Structure 1
């Protein structure tokens, strides 16, 4: 199947088959897809928690507006951002660039100085929104890759981040949760499974300028 057919196949699953579990290979594909997601400046200010503990998943249901998919899913992916973004994080990124590409300092330093000053001059509130935007990019990429791999998913904003942070002990990683993606396989009796996808006509949502 091609990409468009796979996106037609995809929908926000309302009921997962609790007995079907993603293979290690499938999870690794999602992890690598997450790591390869584009982010502004390539800084990757997003991390992903992979939850496969059913007890923890069940605990999180009540803090997810009681959406049962959180517990039913094979795995729960939680996208997180740092509690605080600092110039040290930028420094570590440019060290990685130099290690991987062996780029001379005279080329790296002007860009590094620009990014460092930019981050230091922005409030943490502004940086929080910017980092959250990067998480949405990662979410979209994960959903597309999942569809191409015939892995079902259900993107969620409806959860209480503070409770997730507490249960997943995210403070020790200096992280906070921003988005949730249960992944697995649709149940045969999911009422949404065979419904036609509702979308406006492409020409209504795409404007071509020539």
Structure 2
């Protein structure tokens, strides 16, 4: 599906039919998400792909009982790093050195820039920065799902502290930021399935500065 057609087709699906999405489609959505833009390329977040029905049932009350949680094929939880540390930066730099066949010493200037984030911000500021990076990947995942003709529901309506507890995220140094339910729309029960997409007029949305 072409990009504009895909974005016109997609919407925040309110009910899903429980049908499983083929693994090859899930793999492409996740690969596209892994290739998303990220400040400095650090990707300070983790994406949990949940198919376990019992886990989804535990999460549903923490998401105000939204039905897509349990009706989805896969539930993606975008979790930002609770902190950005020197050790994480150095692990990233080792990955760059290995991937690009360069020395870690040649990356000293880049390391200094990254360390400005580690040392120049509070822990909460670093978490907020990481959360914004997670949102960039979140948007990529939504678009990738549309290209694959897979429905997706972006969800901010949940209690992060409860989801963190269910998934044991604190122990992993993570905090849940947003959720993406992936599956197929239930056209019989979703009133918005055939509704026209409503957006601001593009001339109002885009301010051209010559």
- TM-superposed CA distance for 1:106, in Å, is 4.7
Structure 1 residue 105 displacement after superposition: 4.1
Q: Map of 1:183-202 to 2, 5 A cutoff?
A: 183-189=182-188, 190-202=190-202
Q: What is the aligned partner in structure 1 of residue 204 from structure 2?
A: 204
Question: How big is the shift at 1:23?
Answer: 1.2
Count of aligned positions: 209
Contact 2:17 2:184 in 1 (8 A): yes
Show CA shifts across 1:20-55 (max 9, x none).
Answer: 101111111122112111100000101100110111
CA distance in 2, matches of 1:89, 1:198: 42
CA distance in 1, matches of 2:177, 2:132: 10
Aligned pairs (5 A) from 1:64-83: 64-83=63-82
Secondary structure, aligned partner of 1:155 = strand
Structure 1, 112-121 or 8-17: larger mean CA deviation:
112-121
**Partner SS state of residue 154, structure 1:** strand
Q: What is the TM-score of this pair, normalised by structure 1?
A: 0.95
Q: RMSD over aligned Cα, in angstroms? A: 1.2
CA–CA distance in structure 2, aligned partners of residues 102 and 109 of structure 1: 15
**Post-superposition offset of 1:208:** 1.8
In structure 1, runs of 5+ residues without a counterpart are none
Structure 1 SS opposite 2:79: strand
| Structure 2 CA distance for aligned equivalents of residues 118 and 153 of structure 1 | 33
Aligned to 1:7: 7
What is the TM-score with the length of structure 2 in the denominator?
Answer: 0.95
Matches within 5 A, 1:127-166: 127-166=126-165
1:75 CA drift (Å): 0.8
